[in-house]
Amino acid sequence: MNKTLRTPVIAGNWKMNKTASEAEILIKELIPLAENAACETVICVPFTDISTAVTLTKGTKIKVGAQNVHFKASGAFTGEISAKMLTEAGVTYVVIGHSERRQYFNETDLTVNRRTKAALEAGLTVILCVGEMLSEREDGITETVVELQTVAALTGITAEQMKNVIIAYEPVWAIGTGKVATDEQAEEVCAFIRKVLETKYGKETADKTVIQYGGSMNPKNAAGLLAKENIDGGLIGGASLKADDFKALLEAAS
């Protein structure tokens, strides 16, 4: 089964939650939970928590991610953070193209592509988010939207660089809404994304790429989703903020 070619990745997206002192409490709870997990464990924290997270997770199985990165190396980009700033701070993963960035901060397929290139060049592993809005699903254009986002984001990215790319399929209508995609809906689109990767990079790269599902994943629905052939973990918002919930997700992925 091709699923065995990939190690699942459970990544928490904390969004704009947890001050550094709050982060310290949660990370200390998460460290022993990640120790026995047979999946990769990543926490994507706010910029102000990076230093705390990197210090506390040193020598543990938890990797630290950021939630965005700018595409320029330096310069007059007030409020932005470069890839080198992240790597020097000890960050190894970064979420790019999250629907909340696309929706509220004018993120486009072009800027997603630029950020992806900059992050990969700096040695970061990219968690690249794609997903359709409810109206797009209702119009029957889910695959068109997801293919466009995926191909646009990966323009100029080589098969070698794909070793450091994770795709997170996140239907926008399921994020933070409690409306989870059914196991079959999620699997259908993740399998489609793998086909898109196969067309662009060939079967070997497609088979090895981790494709996560994200959107109201929680301890109750995780096992069904993660058992699917093409779903290799999750990008998790709300349920990543409570140690007990995150523990259940790590167990489901293991």
User: Residue 186 is encoded by which pair of tokens?
Assistant: 């999620």
Minimum gap (Å) between residue 251 Cβ and ligand PEP: 17
Within positions 2 to 61, which residues make up the interface with ligand PEP, using CB under 6 A?
13, 15
Task: Point out which span in 1-9, 50-58, 189-197, 232-240 binds ligand PEP (CB under 6 A).
Answer: 232-240
The amino acid occupying position 19 is: T
Catalytic-residue membership of 107? no
Stretch that binds ligand PEP, among 103-111, 120-128, 131-139, 208-216 (CB under 6 A): 208-216
Given 98, 100, 107, 132, the catalytic residue: 98
Nearest residue to 81 via CA among 58, 56, 48: 48
Known catalytic residue at 29: no
Residue span binding ligand PEP (CB under 6 A) among the ranges 31-39, 102-110, 168-176, 182-190: 168-176
Choice from 52, 142, 212, 216 touching ligand PEP (CB under 6 A): 216
Query: Nearest-CA neighbor of 183 among 220, 210, 237?
Result: 220
- Cβ pair 71, 118 in contact under 8 A: yes
Based on the shown chain and the rule CB under 6 A, indicate whether residue 236 belongs to the binding site for ligand PEP: yes
d(CA 2, CA 204): 10
Q: Is the dihedral of CA 85, 25, 100, 37 positive or negative?
A: positive
| CA distance readout (Å), 88 to 91, 92, 240 | 7, 10, 25
Of 40, 107, 136, 170, the active-site residue reads 170
Catalytic residues: 98, 170
Binding site for ligand PEP (CB under 6 A): 13, 15, 170, 175-176, 214-217, 235-239
